[in-house]
Amino acid sequence: MPAGAVVTRSTASTAARIDALLRPEIRALSAYHVPPAAGLLKLDAMENPYPWPGGLEEEWLAGLRGVELNRYPLPHPAELVQALARQAGVPPGCGLLLGNGSDELIQLIDICLARPGASVLLPTPTFSMYSLIARVAGLGVIDVPLRADFGLDLPAMRAAIERHQPALIYLACPNNPTAGLFDPAELRALIGAAPGLVVVDEAYFPFAGRSVLPWLLEFNHLLVLRTLSKVGLAGLRLGYLIGHPDWLAQFDKARLPYNINTLTQLSAQFALAHADRLAGEAARICEQRHRLSQELKALPGVTVYPSDANFILLRLPPGQAPAAHGALQQAGILVKNVHGGHPLLTDCLRVTVGTAAENEALLAALRAHLTGTV
Ligand SMILES: *Cc1c(COP(=O)(O)O)cnc(C)c1O
């Protein structure tokens, strides 16, 4: 072909080939959308608002200086695993498997359990990645709505278990986006009734103070998922799965060998050596959560749901969520509009708890919008 010749690629044949080759489940998906946040106060993704204090940052950077980036990371970073296990209080006889964020562990579990016809049971609304990853893995997805008060609908869950015999159940506790914990007796009953694996996702444990970790000693089919993402280390991508070593050994076979990069390994160990700082920030966020909840409740027509996490779900007067979301964005504040995502979330917004100043900015903008004052 002469240099500079124009090549016209045929879109028609690409579409035909995609149709012929792609799994239909993938074709049917929409990509996970992360809205642009440049220049906005980011209260949409449950990140920790506090930067590292100056001295600590210097110390961390000094530690990174010796890293050999020409070498592959440790495939099994034993020291990091031990530090995480110690900090989490992993029960005796249980193991811990690292993931590139807890999302990767969800993917790993789903891939391993995706036998033909296998399905995952989800009480909804819940973390959207559960159904997205399940579909990519080829699992069927069965969803059972929560009760109107966002508790588990135990009879409906039992009926779905009877009918579908799900290989897997994901229970986020506290749940995202509803923010509360499930009742422990109901949670326990559900785990007891499950014919397959149950994964209790404790991404928000640092703000909840209650865990099912001790139940691992009673239930061999229970796994607990944790992450560093919500305590100030979202950029590292480090999650971990705790449970029976026989299960973890199977999942480990499907894990890519170097899933935790060297910078993450080092930084996580450094952060764990300063775990008191992370705990202190979680406590501050819980104080702010209380204050922000009280103030939101005082706004006209706003319902605030109880939160055991670092975010709050609120319901606005009918029809107002999209406009309020837009007005907040105009005011430079990004929150999550969950209206339209699930019938139980009609008119709802989800807001991350920020610093005192960030929460004040959110309140002022929302108050101005709802009362028509500027
Ligand atoms: C935010 C969140 C996670 C975190 O996922 P990572 O991949 O670890 O960042 C996991 N589960 C739930 C329910 C969440 O809301």
Going from N- to C-terminal start, the domains of the chain cover 41-48+280-371, 74-274
For residue 1, the CA-to-ligand 1 centroid distance in Å is 50
Beta-bridge mates of residue 240: 98, 226
For 218-250, letters b (16+ CB in 10 Å) and e give ebebbbbbbbbbbbbbbebbbbbbbbbeebbee
Note the pLDDT tens digit of each residue in 292-325.
999 999 999 999 999 999 999 999 999 999 999 9
Percent of the chain topping pLDDT 70: 97
Confidence tier at 231 by pLDDT (50, 70, 90): very high
- Kindly report which listed range (4-13, 49-58, 180-189, 256-265) carries the lowest average pLDDT score: 4-13
The whole-number average pLDDT for the span 165-184 is: 98
Q: Kind of pairing, strands 336-337 and 348-352?
A: antiparallel
Percent of the chain topping pLDDT 90: 88
Q: Which of 358, 352, 317, 322 is nearest to 338 (CA)?
A: 322
Q: Does domain 41-48+280-371 have CATH number 3.90.1150.10?
A: yes
The angle subtended at Cα 37 by Cα 355 and Cα 269, nearest 5°, is 60
d(CA 342, CA 322): 14
Beta-bridge mates of residue 224: 200, 242
CA distances from 26 to 15, 112, 124, 179, 348 (A): 14, 18, 22, 30, 29
Q: Cβ–Cβ contacts within 10 Å for residue 149, how many?
A: 10
d(CA 145, CA 344): 8
d(CA 329, CA 319): 17
Helix (H, G, I), strand (E, B) or coil at 295: helix
Note the pLDDT tens digit of each residue in 337-363.
999 999 999 999 999 999 999 999 999
Provide residues with CB under 6 Å of ligand 1.
46, 101-103, 127, 172, 176, 201, 203, 227, 229, 239
Q: Which tokens belong to 353?
A: 């708890």
For residue 201, the CA-to-ligand 1 centroid distance in Å is 8
For residue 89, the CA-to-ligand 1 centroid distance in Å is 20
Same fold, 41-48+280-371 and 74-274: no
Confidence tier at 2 by pLDDT (50, 70, 90): low
The whole-number average pLDDT for the span 92-102 is: 97
d(CA 368, CA 116): 54
Omega of the bond prior to 214 within 30 degrees of 0, cis? Answer: no
Please state which CATH number belongs to domain 74-274.
3.40.640.10
Residue nearest to atom 10 of ligand 1 (CA): 203
d(CA 178, CA 171): 12
Is the model's pLDDT at 374 over the cut of 80? no
DSSP designation for 9: -
pLDDT value of position 171? 98
> Among 34, 46, 176, which is best to mutate for testing ligand 1, by the most ligand atoms less than 8 A from CB?
176
The stretches of 165-224 forming alpha helices (DSSP H) are 184-193, 205-208
pLDDT value of position 1? 52
Confidence tier at 55 by pLDDT (50, 70, 90): confident
Q: Name the average pLDDT for the chain.
A: 95
